[in-house]
Chains A and B, each alone.
Chain A
Amino acid sequence: MFDWRWEFVGEILPRLFRATGNTVLAALLGYGIAMVLGLVFALAQRTRFPLVNRAIREFVEFVRSTPLILQIFFAFYVGPQFGVMLSPWTAGMAAIGLHYASYLSEVYRGGIDSVPKGQWEAATSLSLSPVRTYSRIIIPQAVPPAFAGMGNYLVGIFKDTPMLSVIGVAELMHTANSIGSEYYRFLEPYTLVGLIFLAISLPTAGLLRKAEAKIRRKMGLR
């Protein structure tokens, strides 16, 4: 019934490690997109035009309350219907980047809202331009309170990359599936994928907690 074969593990491990590189790359790329796009979403909800603010808010809510996997399919299949072919990587990065951008925009919003009103007024009275106000005064102070949330979503995006396997991105899950169907053995590939995820996400979460404490100390917070 239960036979774990070490030779088989040795045989497939190099393939899984190579795929881990793709998984990490997908997570980092997606997170990079999400960080930039998330900031756009957060700032676009603070414009002088209530209609724009409202529309962006609703869009963020929509993306946050629908499944990522469906968004991945949407990004991959809707393009070709209108003559735009997207590669699995492009479609996948667009979907996962957009999904996490909506989450991060909420984190940024919380961070920006936590900056005391006096800071805005002080920046205005020093007649700093809006760009300088944001880049030098507001965002540096918004980062420490936002850091924990941002860290959680970095680990989160990493754990969501297996969904990219459904459109054929050759990351860990996709490789485990191919191995499984080549050898008709699922025990080792799926278990190893789980272990690789644990081995990366647990230390990362620990490091992020340490980094958060350090940032807070540097900014003179508790």
Chain B
Amino acid sequence: MLFIDFLKNYGPQLLKGSVTTIEQTILAATLAIMIAVAMGLMRLSRNRLVYGTATVYIEVFRGTSLLVQVYWIFFVLPLFGLTLEKFTAGFIAVGMNLGAYGAELVRGGILSVPRGQWEAATALSMSPGVRMRRIIFPQALLNMLPPWGNLLIELLKGTALVALISVTDLMFVARKINSTTYLSAQVFGTALILYYIMSRAMITPLMRWLERLMARKVGKRL
């Protein structure tokens, strides 16, 4: 079969799978960002319980495999009475995993803000909440955006694992077409290219744009 015929026959299915992959990526990224900010801030707390909770969370999610976590959340949580639909279980597992990696970026980003900025905000008698929101966090965000770009690509790649709990994402569709046609080079090759396009033509430019936007907001030139 010619490659063009292959695309005509199976392209729409692969594109539909890509849409699911993008949905999973957006939902998982939202969750990962929320977890990363919460856990990153908790890691800076002087309260041992708060600090300890965040540390345990981060070490557990970074110390085990994403695939183990996906299976665990999908197959084991129901035994605790918490049954998640596969689509939900998928992005929650990916988001919780990458959130743990993101937490360290948030922590590092906040620590990279010069001391003088904290002192100046305190001198202007800002409350700790306002100080974090208006002074520290925007500058920290600018510092941590480049590694976040890499993390989001890792996250997109991580969503491919949800295919193993039968979420019909790009990976799942590719496997299904492969098992009926055995056109492995065509189908897996096309899927690889689609993932490449998603990371290089969607995530990378988006992060560049965000970096420039944030740089303008805090008055730095990139």
Interface residues of A (CB under 8 A from B): 1-2, 61-62, 64-71, 73-74, 77-78, 80-82, 159-163, 165-166, 173, 176, 180, 186-187, 190-191, 193-194, 197-198, 201-202, 205
Cβ of A61: which chain B residues have Cβ within 8 Å of it? 200
Contact flags B191-205 to A (C-beta < 8 A → 1, else 0)? 110011001100000
CB of A186 within 8 A of CB of B76, answer: yes
- Which residues of chain B from 92 to 144 have any CB-CB distance to chain A below 8 Å in the complex? none
CB of B171 within 8 A of CB of A70, answer: yes
Q: Which residue of A lies closest to B164 (CB)?
A: A166
Cβ of B158: which chain A residues have Cβ within 8 Å of it? 67
Cβ of B184: which chain A residues have Cβ within 8 Å of it? 73-74, 77-78, 80-81
CB of A2 within 8 A of CB of B79, answer: yes
Cβ 8 A contact of A77, one of B65, B178, B195? B178
Which DSSP category, helix, strand, loop or mixed, fits chain B's interface? helix
B188 within 8 A of A: yes
CB distance from A118 to the nearest CB of B (A): 29
CB of A66 within 8 A of CB of B76, answer: no
CB of B192 within 8 A of CB of A197, answer: no
CB of A70 within 8 A of CB of B64, answer: no
Given contact pairs A74-B189, A187-B76, A201-B63, enumerate 12 new A-B contacts (beta carbons under 8 Å). Answer: A61-B200, A69-B164, A71-B192, A74-B184, A74-B188, A162-B65, A165-B67, A173-B65, A190-B68, A190-B71, A194-B72, A198-B59
CA distance A211 to B188 in the complex (A): 40
CA distance A69 to B156 in the complex (A): 12
CA distance A186 to B69 in the complex (A): 13
Q: Which residue of B lies closest to A64 (CB)?
A: B153
**20 A-B residue pairs with CB within 8 Å:** A1-B81, A2-B79, A64-B153, A65-B196, A66-B192, A67-B157, A67-B160, A69-B160, A69-B163, A77-B178, A77-B188, A81-B182, A159-B64, A159-B66, A162-B68, A163-B67, A173-B65, A190-B68, A197-B68, A201-B63
B37 within 8 A of A: no
Cβ 8 A contact of B60, one of A2, A74, A159, A198? A198
CB distance from A191 to the nearest CB of B (A): 7
CA distance A194 to B184 in the complex (A): 32
CB of B157 within 8 A of CB of A66, answer: yes
Cβ of B67: which chain A residues have Cβ within 8 Å of it? 162-163, 165, 173
CB distance from A114 to the nearest CB of B (A): 18
